[in-house]
């Protein structure tokens, strides 16, 4: 079975607009298999945007659970 990967590259600084685009891309996948989200430099515009990202990902938890594998790429601490 062919597994298709959805790769999302977030543009830094990460804004609410970028988060909304990411969520729409995730929701528009008809057969979720592999999800790869690249947060780049992990440069969120503000703490508010970081919290918004967490909240929006939590809101679509049922969709995310349909993926076989999910990976998040961030810079090391």
pLDDT digits over 25-57, tens only? 999 998 889 999 999 898 999 999 999 999 999
Q: First and final CA of the chain: distance in angstroms? A: 37
**pLDDT category of residue 1 using cuts at 50, 70 and 90:** low
The alpha carbon dihedral of 13, 41, 50, 32 has a sign of positive
pTM flag (> 0.75): yes
Residue 19 belongs to domain spanning: 5-73
57 in Cβ contact with 26 (< 8 Å): no
> How many domains, the chain?
1
């Amino acid at each position: 079975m062919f597994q298709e990967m959805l790769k999302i590259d977030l543009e830094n600084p990460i804004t609410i607009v970028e988060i909304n685009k990411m969520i729409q891309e995730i929701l528009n996948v008809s057969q979720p298999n592999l999800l790869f989200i690249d947060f780049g430099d992990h440069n969120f515009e503000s703490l508010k945007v970081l919290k918004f990202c967490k909240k929006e990902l939590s809101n679509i938890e049922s969709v995310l659970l349909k993926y076989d594998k999910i990976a998040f790429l961030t810079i090391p601490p």
